[in-house]
Amino acid sequence: MDKEDMINALKNGNVPKDGARELCIGRDKEIEEFEYILERVKDGKSVVKFIDGEFGAGKSFFLKVIEEMAYQDNFVISKVTLSNSVPFNKIDVVYRNIVQSLTCKTGTSLRHIIDRWYTDIRVMALEETTDPVEEEDIVRQTIQDDLRQTREHSNSFAVAIENYCKFLDEGDEETANYAQAWLQGDSNIPSKFKRKFGVKGDVTKENTFNFIEALSVFIKSVGYSGLVILIDEAEYIMNLIRTNMRDTAYNYMRDIFDLSSSNEFENILFVFAGTPRLFDDTKKGIPSYEALNDRIEDKVDSEYRDLRKPIIVLQGFTDDELVDISKNIISLHEDVYDWNGQELVYPVLDDIVEHYQQNASLTGGRVTPRLFVRSIIAILDIIQQNPDDFTSSEDILNIFDEKQSEFIDYDFDDDWG
């Protein structure tokens, strides 16, 4: 992603496609904790974390930072946003969205991961022998060896992968495509094709966790570090109309937490991001479902942060962090539009921060990342295009005060979270 795309994304309240980590200020301890967690997951553990933050506090932005960290560390990543079409009480639907959203360093999709693995096996066999019969024996044995652990969690998952490769070799793309679709949770596969590639039934709410286990084990066995599943807008669960629907969703969340804590899941990181209401509301939030709340709530009331607890609360920026963020954005803006913003804006940065803190009292005296970033870019755009009108610090502060009111809008629908 080029720098102008980054500026435009930030200006529109969106998370940049790339480069989130280099723009991330004030989250050093959180990043350090997730670096440690990713190492644990790489070593075979499964971990569940919850991100708690107000709208605009940067939950989605921080999920993007985690995604970039995992991406660089050779993990396979899936980000799913809960919504009307992806409700968490329908875990089979969630699985389908997880698999359809897979991405990694080498490409995107489960099909890519399987194709790359199978191509590597074919190349390896060709390098070992010139005998076609021996080559096929090597390919067959390697596939069986690589899928051994996957088969322990879901034999059907392993069989579908085997037969997907088989039908590709035979040129039967229709059956191969159906096998691939079945692996991704498609429940509309004709029975005759399921019989052809050797499976019965579909991904259901009863067996979804077996498929998630099989998926993560397969990903690890073919050379990746593990699987990272990011669930954004988890507070959508509170929009489910009936209590039993919400209870079902929270129970799936509890199951994931328990399966991870007991290491029945392997090599998976689950991260759920939601607003404070999700964690505080006793009628519709997590506290309404005691079995989950007892496992993850912070039972010790302390002034000290403990990032090793299940829930990480994202806090607003301090004054110093806001100044650092401003300098990063000014530098980025200068590179894109080829001008010297530092000379005009640096001398007044402390005053800008002070003004913004005073006028953003609705945030409890702290400023959310999205509101501040959008305001800074807005004034940089104006100053850069009208430099003769900004000859003093007072001029800059006046335009800042004028523009900031446009962005103190808590209902703005952005993807910073």
- Same domain as 308, residue 231: yes
- What digits encode the pLDDT tens for the residues 241-284? 999 999 999 999 999 999 999 999 999 999 999 999 999 999 99
- Same domain as 291, residue 341: no
Asked if residue 338 belongs to a domain, the reply is: yes
Asked if residue 174 belongs to a domain, the reply is: yes
Confidence of residue 413 (pLDDT cuts 50, 70, 90): very low
Confidence of residue 319 (pLDDT cuts 50, 70, 90): confident
Q: Which one of 283, 313, 343 terminates a domain?
A: 313
Domain that holds residue 356: 319-404
Asked if residue 17 belongs to a domain, the reply is: no
**301: number of Cβ within 10 Å:** 5
Asked if residue 20 belongs to a domain, the reply is: no
pLDDT at position 367 is 57
Answer yes or no: pTM beyond 0.85.
Answer: yes
- Same domain as 104, residue 72: yes
Flag whether pLDDT at 152 surpasses 70. yes
b or e along 248-259 (b: 16 or more beta carbons within 10 Å of the residue's beta carbon)? bbbbbbbbbbeb
Asked if residue 215 belongs to a domain, the reply is: no
Stretch 157-172: mean pLDDT, rounded?
Answer: 97
Confidence of residue 412 (pLDDT cuts 50, 70, 90): very low
Asked if residue 413 belongs to a domain, the reply is: no
pLDDT at position 405 is 65
Asked if residue 237 belongs to a domain, the reply is: yes
- Same domain as 230, residue 96: yes
Return the CATH number at 92.
3.40.50.300
Confidence of residue 411 (pLDDT cuts 50, 70, 90): very low
pLDDT at position 406 is 67
Q: Which one of 313, 332, 352 terminates a domain?
A: 313
Cα(348)–Cα(392) distance, integer angstroms: 9
pLDDT at position 167 is 97
- Same domain as 229, residue 188: no
- Same domain as 122, residue 93: no
Asked if residue 169 belongs to a domain, the reply is: yes
pLDDT at position 361 is 60
- Same domain as 232, residue 103: yes
Cα(200)–Cα(157) distance, integer angstroms: 11
326: CB partners within 8 A, 6+ apart: 345, 349, 352, 353, 376
CA 25 to chain centre: 19
Q: In 311-368, which ranges are continuous DSSP H helix?
A: 319-337, 342-345, 349-359
- Same domain as 334, residue 294: no
- What digits encode the pLDDT tens for the residues 63-100? 999 999 999 999 999 999 999 999 999 999 999 999 99
- Same domain as 134, residue 170: yes
Both structure tokens of 65: 């930072």
Confidence of residue 203 (pLDDT cuts 50, 70, 90): very high
Stretch 319-329: mean pLDDT, rounded?
Answer: 91
- Same domain as 309, residue 324: no
- Same domain as 132, residue 104: no
Q: In 170-263, which ranges are continuous DSSP H helix?
A: 173-183, 191-196, 208-221, 243-261
- Same domain as 357, residue 338: yes
pLDDT at position 410 is 43
Stretch 160-165: mean pLDDT, rounded?
Answer: 98
Q: Which one of 255, 283, 313 terminates a domain?
A: 313
Q: Please give the tally of structural domains in the chain.
A: 3
Confidence of residue 356 (pLDDT cuts 50, 70, 90): confident
pLDDT at position 13 is 83
pLDDT at position 401 is 76
